[in-house]
Amino acid sequence: MKKIVILTGAGMSAESGIKTFRGTDGLWEGHDIMEVASPEGYAANPELVLNFYNQRRKQLLAVAPNKAHYNLVRLEKNYDVEIITQNVDDLHERAGSTNVTHLHGELLKVRSSIDETIILDWRKELVLGDVCTKKSQLRPHIVWFGEMVPMLAKAAKKVAKADILVLIGTAMQVYPAAGLINAVHLNTPIYFIDPNPPVSESDFLNLKIIKEVASVGTCALLRYLKA
């Protein structure tokens, strides 16, 4: 069975009503990115950061997977599918995808501030005073700017084994995740689904651009792959 590795970004979940990571003004939900997505921002104003993610978590619990998520589940009938997502939502899992790696953490989990191996499922508000078993304040289980991406090496190994690589709704401009495309073997077919792709078909060998939003583009992908 051929292995398809799929890299997904904010455009994958946009049609579910989840806003993309940052707007054209460089802000995320009206906040400077570094205020709410960096260790420095958290140290300066932990209450602001916790409240920001409480709002994101509340939003996530109010939306549902879209057609694109379900289309990727269909691929599992005929392919060995590995999804690597830059998204912190759980919409791939809710749709039924069985093999999902989260590069940047998960919104519905929290972790200890002093022991990153202590990770808890979390669906309610997280406030100052919520602590782990080691009496350390719990923080969002999110990889912030300036922090290591612990799943990156695992993801690169998966990409290197791909028979087919698919990119959906990602500008591939946020490093180190953007470097994953370079792990693919030469001549591996690559499909790029995005209404405004940042690359052209001449940039990579065997690159097919599907210039559509995720729901429409994944329908085209299913036709291409006869799935």
pLDDT for 202 beyond 90: no
pLDDT for 192 beyond 60: yes
pLDDT tens across 53-105, in order?
A: 999 999 999 999 999 999 999 999 999 999 999 999 999 999 999 999 999 99
Number of C-beta neighbours around residue 208 at 10 A:
15
Q: Tell me which H or E stretch contains 100.
A: strand 100-102
> Is residue 84 within 8 Å of residue 101, measured between CB atoms?
yes
d(CA 97, CA 107): 18
DSSP per residue over 30-61, as a string? TEEHHHHSSHHHHHH-HHHHHHHHHHHHHHHH
Check residue 122 and give its pLDDT: 98
- Which listed residue (69, 92, 102, 104) is catalytic? 104
Check residue 195 and give its pLDDT: 94
* pLDDT band for position 27 (cuts 50, 70, 90): low
Helix pair 214-224, 67-75: axis angle to 10 deg: 20
Alpha helices in the chain (DSSP H): 10-13, 33-36, 39-44, 46-61, 67-75, 91-95, 152-160, 214-224
d(CA 77, CA 62): 29
Q: Is 31 a catalytic residue?
A: no
Check residue 133 and give its pLDDT: 96
Radius of gyration over every alpha carbon of the chain, rounded to an integer in angstroms: 18
Select from 175, 184, 176 the least CA-distant residue to 157: 184
Share of the chain above pLDDT 70, in %: 93
* pLDDT band for position 155 (cuts 50, 70, 90): very high
